[in-house]
Amino acid sequence: MLFYSIEGIQASRHTGEVEGEHRWSLPGVRCPLCKSAWSTGAVAYPSVNLTNHPEREKLQEPRLEEDFAEFERLRESVRPLIPGTVLHPGTDFGPFVGTAQGTFGPLVVPSPWVLMMQRGALEQLQAEGLQGLKGCSMDVRFRQKKNPPQLVELELLPLGLLHEDCIPPDQRAPCPRCGRLAFSLPVNPLLQATSLPKDTDLFRLGNFATVIVATQRFVETVRRLWPEEQLEVRELPMR
């Protein structure tokens, strides 16, 4: 099985644009150990509903939290909703909220780390037997009032990893306090074969969350169903 990073839709005939953000998010943080001020800006759990969460008001506005202990408290308050998951500063929750205009194809890539689809397209891919595709409803207002498309956001879990051989030796370990990894995306990314999931065809990298990874099965199915979309991908070798 081959794996690819999704780069976008090349020369799409569709004009669709989506703008907005998720309803809630952990704040960014300034780490007292590595001194970095940062936020992931990529990982989102749109299926996690914080409507009744006691700290929801503190999670509504993206911000930088200078008090690291307060960040840790907020992080632990949402951890029971996503057990076993690493929660970095800036992790988003809840539906994508915003506006949209134009025409949309089956797949929508508003940024390299976000993937949306028309609901019918998601159902087609699921009917084809693709695994682990979870579409979440969006709270998006369309400028066109007549027959607006039904868009869903894919919840992409951080499952696979870049292999340490493509990461500078002095940058492989995360900050022990805040978890930040300081390296840039390698020119020649290499996947750690043992980290790759066997039961999902679409995910993001756990140690470089802006990279969306698709299986060969996903890419081939999309290109067969919608050849006009010209899905842009890059093969990622494994070791």
59 in a structural domain: yes
Can you tell me the distance from the alpha carbon of 144 to that of 5, in angstroms, rounded to the nearest whole number?
32
Percent of the chain with pLDDT over 90: 86
- Mean predicted confidence (pLDDT) in 99-128: 95
In the predicted structure, residue 26 carries a pLDDT above the cut 90: yes
- Torsions phi, psi for 131 (to 5 deg): -105, 150
Residue bearing tokens 């030796």: 169
Domain that holds residue 25: 21-93
77 in a structural domain: yes
Q: How many domains does the chain have?
A: 1
Q: How many residues are there in the chain?
A: 239
200 in a structural domain: no
121 in a structural domain: no
Per residue in 48-77, pLDDT (tens digit) is 999 999 999 999 989 999 999 999 999 999
Can you tell me the distance from the alpha carbon of 204 to that of 42, in angstroms, rounded to the nearest whole number?
9
pLDDT band at 11 (very low <50, low <70, confident <90, very high): low
pLDDT reported for residue 13: 78
13 in a structural domain: no
The residues facing 65 across adjacent strands are: 29
Cα pseudo-dihedral 238, 188, 41, 10, rounded to 10:
-100
45 in a structural domain: yes
pLDDT reported for residue 83: 86
Per residue in 170-186, pLDDT (tens digit) is 999 999 999 999 999 99
222 in a structural domain: no
Q: What is the pTM of this model?
A: 0.94
Which of the pair, 180 or 85, is modelled with greater confidence?
180
152 in a structural domain: no
